[in-house]
Structure 1
Amino acid sequence: MAAKRILLGITGGIAAYKSAELVRLLKKAGLEVRVVMTRGAEAFITPLTFQALSGEPVRTSLLDPEAEAGMGHIELAKWADQVVVAPASADFLARLAQGMADDLLTTVCCATEAPIAVAPAMNQAMWKNFRTQRNVQLLTEDPQITLWGPDQGEQACGDTGPGRMLEPEALARLVMASPEPPATGVLAGRRLVITAGPTREPIDPVRYISNHSSGKMGYAIARAAAAAGARVLLVSGPVNLPAPEGVEVRPVVTAEDMLRASERAVTEGCDVFIATAAVADYRPENCAGDKIKKTSEAMSLALVRNPDTLATIAARPDAPFTVGFAAETTDVARYATDKMQRKKLNMIVANDVSAPGLGFNSDQNAVTVFWPEGQESIGPDSKQAIAERLVTLIASHSDRIENA
């Protein structure tokens, strides 16, 4: 197992009751577990529950004179092979992102050199909130921190959407992940970076510019690539989709966020870059600090060009095999091939988003794939079936270039 000693942090939220089952599963697997609870967590479930399940005293306070006589927070930080915070509330994500150390759990996170995994759990509106996503972006830029989830579905408040904590069984599998056996498949040993979903460009704290992209095509390709043996990193705009199994997801919000996350991912190592995201071409020149009031019949909004993530990656000296997507409404082939040549792409996947029942927000699609020497049409078919064929094509053409 990758880690033997797990420090489990529990923050305030109804999902805290699921953490008891997580402790049971980890103990059953033979791991040592110690629990740190925030004051908010104690409002939902008692420390005695976790003491009984873990067989260890539960720590709840940074200012415990008996524990801190021996510098208990430093001892906990050094003891852990891995820190897991489940559930991780919006408040905890904000404090962790800012490097705060105002309670025992955040202090341990500041002091530990162990990897930290956080499993977000909150209402779907809180998860989608601009400030929460800004904090999430900061966390994804921290090489010590990994986000596990969130999942989507029905929530305790009655809402449905992203924000649910991953189930204890899924978290236990992530904690107990053994070193992976050698990958098999047409993309075995390759590292893929995929962008997916829309971006949101804020007008003020309430409003934003976006588009109809659901992220379904990018997520389907991520699943297909992982099944084909690739190590996949998915840079995702705001979507209502669960993280594909075996895929690392780095959430972003704006086009500038997507560029930074993509450049970082490619720098970390990338053989193939697939840009399915529908990135906003323009953003408001200025984002108002307060909600803009409705004071007149018309309002003008000055827009400026966003950075071009796809062109930036393709122009790098160390550019990977780069695949673009073109969502068009007319003259699809001409616009797509022009984009491929202009941005110096290895391949481009084009689809007509004006076709009824296909493309944006649909589970079906039909695409034409272009490369410098040829083309192939795929579909109409399910996006997952199209993704699997695309992965085979990309593997074949990237192999040919690598071995040329």
Structure 2
Amino acid sequence: MKKKLFFALAFLLFCLSSFGQQSLIQNIASRNNLSLNGRWNYIIDPYENGFYDYRREAYDESKSKTGGYYDDKRNVDKSELIEFNFDKAPTLKVPGNWNSQEEKLSFYEGTVWYRKLFNAKPLRGKRYILYFAAANYESHVYLNGKKLGMHKGGFTPFQFEVTSLLKAGENSVVVKADNTRKKEEIPTNSTDWWNYGGITRDVLLAELPETYIHDYQVQLAKSYSSTIEGFIQLNGATKAQEVMINIPELALTFAVNTDDKGYAMIKQPVNNLTYWSPVNPKLYQVKITSGIDEVNDKIGFRTIETKGKDILLNGKSVFLRGISLHDENPLILGRPRSEGDLKMLLTWAKELNCNFVRLAHYPHNEEMVRLADEMGLLVWGEAPVYWTIARENPNTYNNAQSQLSDLIAISPSWKNSKKVIFFTNGSCPSV
């Protein structure tokens, strides 16, 4: 008997507790970043000759670990022939999808190699994270010819620590992006949205101290309307240390002490708190400081719960009026290109008197959730479990769980946004 697809609408507080600590750095936008956005050279590789040898064995799994396009070979002199040369290759804009930038790639599904050259000045006592906000679908990433890792999923962020590989001067980052649809993947090979390929969201190089604020959550305590709670997780901590939390508008500053693994719980009473609501989307500036590291965020405080068939926002029943949105600009082919594109979509929802948006059918750009916070819109988030998935394949379920976990617990705008009132890991399933 076929296993039925589990369709879950789970409220944020419950979801967060079930997934625990995650590895991705929170609030990358608040860090000291070098943007790698811009023009990237690209090579189309439909037969994956730059990844496999003639035996279909991956070059990066060979004894030498070399031989693929990620080697980024250059001409030493004019007599040397390099068949696939990034220096002479055309360019695509990142972030962006290849379908809307090159007519010959409009319907292409397969592998495209991206290469970006950038200069760096790595400092002693600093750590460096290479961060991708999203790339569709399977991405293999290399820095200076060395493989950093692989990521599956076209809509969630991923990162690699590159402290030991980053060079002073010129560096080469190469990405093998493959948007091939497969029945056993999430999403499956049949959907009702365009399968855009490429590095579709921001690429950043973050510079961090040796011990930095890796993860955090600050929210209104459940059932306690005058208490905030959460946690702080440091990375690189070797002993207990103090972390300061400051909310200037509430005239509130307090300290917590981590354990020797860098973890600390937060629980602090507050007075005169204005709750976030669609009518009054109040956000507070929150500053977290640990040693020389500092993270700034804007957070709204609210309670969300159910009572019978009602959804209660700040203790009062709320009737949801909303629309479903795709992560696309309907006026220009492709994914949204700017904050203005995202704000346009949400403004249309507000003009329709919505208090709620369904971000279908996959994780949207994190900036979309930040803007929803500011504009007074509750949010429904989704993992791309859609239609005819391979229910009999346990790896498919593991993939779905991983992407839902990423959606809830990794992406900072989703995690510390208290306007995301529920998540789903199944859309339009046949059961």
| TM-score category, normalised to shorter length | under 0.3
Q: Which has the higher contact order (CA 8 A, sep 6+)?
A: 2
**TM-score, length basis structure 1:** 0.25
State TM-score, norm by structure 2.
0.24
